Each structure stands twice: as structure tokens, then as C-alpha cells.
């Protein structure tokens, strides 16, 4: 078996214990095979009932804590986790399945489907089929947005991002979709120079609020949205379609 990056995953049997270093994958695995996850990051907030040892953050997990759990499999992501941590876990004899940084919703769901049904030998979950149906179509564009994900300095969504495709499928084009960077760092003046009529402000990774973010774009319509709905590829996509439609 190989992961999304073409690396071998030397599983000898169906995994019975998994450590997840990716919040959205933790959510997807537990929604599909409850009890399989035996370790997760501090940011794995879903499902809310998850009660397992925590191993630090996604970018800087405590690798010794991961190794101490001796899971059958560790799941990681090419964008969220550092290659050196993945290699250290593999060097200790623990298989790691790394998912790619998906550029579209179908790519992301396809990646999760392969992890669940092939890597974990789980049955096809109903939430995955429903999410695929909900997000199949692309609505006509009715707004152009900038989408900050951080400030001080400003960081926005650029080209080929999962969240950008989520918005596009709901009729919102990304003003930075043609930028050479996936996460450009424009100045505030550069942001104002763009042509846009909407600012989309998620609550993660930076927690934008009504009092922190909109004031930098006076007289521009803005939408406060759930970062989980916008960026997580998992069961949250089912509720995200209606929730983001209402927010936007």
C-alpha cells in the first residue's frame, strides 16, 4: 500500500490503533470507526467526546509521545506536518500514511476515502457519500472575496487551496486565486488595491471576530465563518454546505 505521496505504508494487517496528527482526519476516522484513534493533537477538537492522550500540535508534535503509544498507524498531512517528524516515526518502525494537500473538494474527499477504505479497511461511510453529493456542483460566481487566514502579518488564501475551492463551489471567487503563492502575505495596502466585494473571515487558524478583522476593511461586506467548515475535509463538510451558504 502507498500513501498520497507515493510512499510505502507497510501494514501487515488492518490497523487497530491509530494516532492522528491532523484534526480533520481525526474527525473523519472517529466518525467512521469510533475507538480507532488512540492519540491525537491538542487541536483535534472533534468529535467533542474524543478522550485520548494528546501529543502536542500538528506542526510540532511530541514525537516521543507518539512513539510511546506504539500505534499500528500514524496519519499525517503533507501541508500540516513536518517531513522530519514523519521520517522519525517511520524510522522507529511505525507506518505513516501521509495525505496530500488537496486543491479541490473532490480531491480531498477522494484522499480521505482511500485512507478510510483502503488504509483502514473501513466500510464506506454514509457521511462521505453525502458530502460528495453536496459538493459536486459549482455555483455561478456572484462575489469575489479576499480570505485572510492570519494577521500581523496578513496571510490570505492564494492559488490551489481546498478552502478556495469550497468557496468557489458556493459562488465566491478568490481574488488571489491566480497568485503564484498558495498563501500570499500582502500588505494591507496591497489587499485594498485588489478588486473584491466580500471579505471572508474564518475563526481558525487566526480567530477573526466582529471586533478583530472587519475594521481593516471598512464599508466592505464581510462574513464570519467557521474555519472547520471552510478548511476541514471530513464529516463537517455535510453541515458546512448549508452553514457557509447562509453565512455568505
Contact 176, 167 (CB under 8 A): no
The predicted pLDDT at position 171 comes to 98
pLDDT at site 240: 98
Residue 5 lies inside a defined structural domain of this protein: no
Domain count, the chain: 2
Whether residue 113 is contained in a domain is answered as: yes
Strands 148-150 and 155-156: antiparallel
Count other Cβ atoms within 10 Å, centred on residue 69: 16
Output the pLDDT for position 71.
98
Tell me, what CATH number does 105's domain have?
Answer: 3.40.50.1980
Which residue stretches of 95-235 are H helix?
105-114, 126-134, 162-169, 188-193, 227-231
Is 135 domain-assigned?
no
Q: CB count, 10 Å around CB of 64?
A: 11
The pLDDT tens digits for 105-149 are: 999 999 999 999 999 999 999 999 999 999 999 999 999 999 999
Integer Cα distance of 30 and 48 in angstroms: 11
Residues 150 and 240 in one domain: yes
Whether the full predicted model's pTM is greater than 0.75, yes or no, is yes
* pLDDT for the residue numbered 191: 96
- In this predicted structure, what is the pLDDT of residue 97? 98
108 and 79 share a domain? yes
Range of the domain at 84: 18-124
pLDDT at 41: 98
Q: How many whole angstroms separate alpha carbon 157 and alpha carbon 60?
A: 23
Q: Which three cell numbers stand for residue 243?
A: 452553514
- Write the CB contacts of 173 (distance below 8 Å, at least 6 apart in sequence): 141, 143, 144, 145, 167
Residue 106 and residue 34 share a domain: yes
Query: Would you say residue 132 lies in a domain?
Result: no
* Residue located via cell numbers 494516532: 19
Using only C-alpha atoms, the chain has a radius of gyration, in whole angstroms, of 18
Q: How far is CA 152 from CA 89, 91, 210, in A?
A: 34, 37, 17
pLDDT in tens, the chain (248 residues): 999 999 999 998 999 999 999 999 999 999 999 999 999 999 999 999 999 999 999 999 999 999 999 999 999 999 999 999 999 999 999 999 999 999 999 999 999 999 999 999 999 999 999 999 999 999 999 999 999 999 999 999 999 999 999 999 999 999 999 999 999 999 999 999 999 999 999 999 999 999 999 999 999 999 999 999 999 999 999 999 999 999 99
Amino acid at each position: 500500500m502507498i500513501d498520497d505521496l507515493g510512499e510505502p505504508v507497510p501494514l501487515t494487517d488492518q490497523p487497530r490503533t491509530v494516532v492522528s496528527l491532523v484534526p480533520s482526519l481525526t474527525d473523519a476516522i472517529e466518525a467512521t470507526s469510533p475507538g480507532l484513534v488512540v492519540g491525537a493533537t491538542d487541536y483535534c477538537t472533534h468529535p467533542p467526546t474524543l478522550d485520548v492522550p494528546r501529543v502536542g500540535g500538528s506542526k510540532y508534535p511530541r514525537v516521543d509521545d507518539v512513539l510511546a503509544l506504539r500505534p499500528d498507524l500514524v496519519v499525517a498531512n503533507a501541508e500540516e506536518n513536518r517531513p522530519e517528524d514523519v521520517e522519525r516515526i517511520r524510522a522507529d518502525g511505525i507506518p505513516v500514511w501521509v495525505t496530500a494537500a488537496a486543491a479541490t473538494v473532490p480531491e480531498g474527499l477522494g484522499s480521505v476515502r482511500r485512507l478510510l477504505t483502503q488504509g483502514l479497511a473501513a466500510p464506506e461511510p454514509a457521511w462521505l457519500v453525502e458530502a460528495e453529493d453536496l459538493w459536486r456542483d459549482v455555483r455561478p460566481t456572484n462575489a469575489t472575496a479576499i480570505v485572510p487566514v492570519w494577521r500581523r502579518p496578513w496571510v490570505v488564501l492564494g492559488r490551489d487551496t481546498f478552502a478556495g475551492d469550497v468557496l468557489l463551489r458556493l459562488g465566491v471567487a478568490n481574488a488571489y486565486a491566480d497568485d503564484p503563492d498558495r498563501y500570499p502575505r500582502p500588505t494591507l495596502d496591497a489587499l485594498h488595491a485588489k478588486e473584491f466585494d466580500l471579505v471572508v473571515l474564518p475563526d481558525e487558524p487566526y480567530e477573526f471576530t466582529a471586533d478583530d478583522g472587519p475594521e481593516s476593511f471598512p464599508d466592505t461586506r464581510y462574513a464570519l465563518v467557521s474555519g472547520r467548515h471552510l478548511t476541514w475535509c471530513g464529516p463537517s463538510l455535510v453541515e458546512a454546505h448549508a452553514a457557509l451558504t447562509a453565512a455568505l
